[in-house]
Amino acid sequence: MSELRTSDRRTRRTKRALQTALLNLAEDQDLESISVTEIANAADVNRATFYKHYRDKDEFVSSALDALFEEVTAEDRVFTEQHQTLSPDVVPGPLVTLFRNLEQRRHLFQRLFSASDQTGFVFRLQLFEEAQFMRVWNDMKLVPVPGSPPVEVRRTVAISTLRSFVVWWLHKEDAVPAEQAADWLWNILKPLWFSEAARTNSASARS
């Protein structure tokens, strides 16, 4: 049993080293141009070790991006799992964390958020954020005031704005700190939550 645990830890360390190597290389190169040999060398493992854990580069890149996605969205998941609510006067913690994560690997995310991204990472993030919007909206028991935009419109505009703002921020020559970017974006987004929306205790709020 002890040998099995040691083997598992070694496997996890090796996979983390390979994934970190890929993400570091992707700061300066497109994912498609990075070779298995480059990844193995950067992780200080041999090619045989790489293929012991992954069938091919495509499977490995997918696995590395899955891990990155989980890291980027971790605080957002906790926010909704704990049924936390929003305040117009406080920038949501997950929004600040998102920008901090993007800031750490700015050049990589510039590529992932480009129109030519073939990994599906940004589309997956978009679907995730749309679902999170609805979960928080329902947890806060909000309903649009009659005659105001329905929640589906608010959600679509919010996520579209989020993506456009992130692309602008990632490519801005004079870097704006993550905290400032989150504050600016929240000031743009919060009317979608708090303008012409009312709280209700009716079951319809969760439908």
Coil vs helix vs strand at 193: helix
Q: Are 85 and 142 in contact (CB under 8 A)?
A: no
Report the 10 Å Cβ neighbour count for 5.
9
Tell me which amino acid residue 86 is: L
d(CA 43, CA 21): 5
Nearest-5° Cα angle at 153, 165 to 88:
60
- pLDDT one-digit tens code per residue, 76-93: 999 999 999 999 999 999
95: three-class secondary structure by DSSP: helix
The pLDDT tens digits of the residues spanning 167-184 come to 999 999 888 999 999 999
Q: Quickly list DSSP for 11-39.
A: HHHHHHHHHHHHHHHTTTS-GGG--HHHH
Matching residue, tokens 């305040």: 87
pLDDT band of residue 4 (cuts 50, 70, 90) is: low
Q: Where is average pLDDT lowest: 26-30, 156-160, 184-188?
A: 26-30
Is 181 exposed, middle or buried, given 0-12, 13-18 or 19+ CB atoms closer than 10 A? buried
CB atoms inside a 10 Å sphere around CB 160: 11
Give the pTM.
0.87
pLDDT beyond 60 at 53: yes
